[in-house]
Amino acid sequence: MGRLVSFHDAALGYGNTPALTGLTLDVFGGQALALVGPNGGGKTTLMRGIVGGCQVLSGTVEVEATRIGLVPQSADLDLTFPVSATEVVTMGLIAEAGWGRRINADMRERVSAALERVNLSDRASHRFGTLSGGQRQRVLVARALVARPELVMMDEPFNGLDAPSRDIITGLIADLTADGVGVIVSTHDLSLARDVCSQACVLASRLVALGPVDEALAPEVLARAYGSSADEAIAALS
């Protein structure tokens, strides 16, 4: 599959202060890449670096993907905003349709198909803030998918999910990679990273390791990344 993103000896940060250094990696279509590491290790910064949400202080970041779907944590959103699940998914088409423009019949069909793909057709008209945490996360996944992305980036997509929602999102990641879509998953759950992704990038304010999940999540690697909390991280994989 083709290369979607390339970092070469990149340092990323905010206000000229580096948050992540020594980053050299490629993201390919058809690949599921887990971003793991301690809090503040640079997982979110790496994803922001792809969409221009932080500064590239040195090195290079080349983004060849033209359609990128973002799945934020639902806990970061305003749940009082009066929008339906359908309206949230439709927001994923703004870049294509343009602000203030009516979506056409094809786009409406794509919105319905995206909700069906995450098994939420029966919740289409429900207010987003009244849905369960797992259902909200699935709506956000549908919003990312409706634009037919080449790359999907998910920030802690499994946090607090019920088992059905977890299974649906896990299955979608497998389907997306089988269709040639690249997927980046930022997660604290190392066992899920191992089970869902083929590659892992271990970060601790720097690139610690990159490679197949079994190699990148080896105990000696996690010890370097997590320091004094390594035992807990290693135990999560046993």
Are the C-beta atoms of 152 and 184 separated by less than 8 Å?
Answer: yes
Question: CA 114, CA 238: separation in Å to the nearest integer?
Answer: 35
- Model pLDDT, residue 75: 63
Q: What is the CATH topology of the domain spanning 1-66+151-238?
A: Rossmann fold (3.40.50)
- Model pLDDT, residue 180: 97
- Model pLDDT, residue 77: 73
- Model pLDDT, residue 100: 59
Are the C-beta atoms of 36 and 187 separated by less than 8 Å?
Answer: yes
Token pair of 23 as six digits: 């980053």
- Model pLDDT, residue 160: 82
- Model pLDDT, residue 123: 96
Q: In 3-state terms, what secondary structure has residue 207?
A: strand
- In one-letter notation, the amino acid at residue 44 is T
> Which residue reads 């070469």 in tokens?
8
Reference 165, options 139, 187, 134; nearest CA is 134
- Name residue 151's beta-bridge partners: 68, 182
pLDDT tens for the 238 residues of the chain, in order: 699 999 999 999 999 899 999 999 999 999 999 999 999 999 999 999 999 999 999 999 999 999 999 998 766 677 788 899 999 999 998 877 665 567 778 889 999 999 999 999 999 999 999 999 899 999 999 999 999 999 999 999 988 888 888 999 999 999 999 999 999 999 999 999 999 999 999 999 999 999 999 999 999 999 999 987 878 887 877 7
CB environment 101-127: b (16+ within 10 A), e (fewer): eebeeebeebbbebbebbbbeebbeeb
- Name residue 27's beta-bridge partners: 5
Token pair of 61 as six digits: 């970041």
| From-to residues of CATH 3.40.50.300 in the chain | 1-66+151-238
Sign of CA dihedral 5, 137, 128, 125: positive
Helix axes 163-178, 133-145, angle to 10 degrees: 20
- Model pLDDT, residue 98: 64
Reference 48, options 20, 28, 74; nearest CA is 20
Are the C-beta atoms of 204 and 38 separated by less than 8 Å?
Answer: yes
| pTM of the predicted model as reported, rounded to 2 decimal places | 0.93
Phi, psi of 156 (to 5 degrees): 50, 55
Question: CA 139, CA 77: separation in Å to the nearest integer?
Answer: 12
- In one-letter notation, the amino acid at residue 4 is L
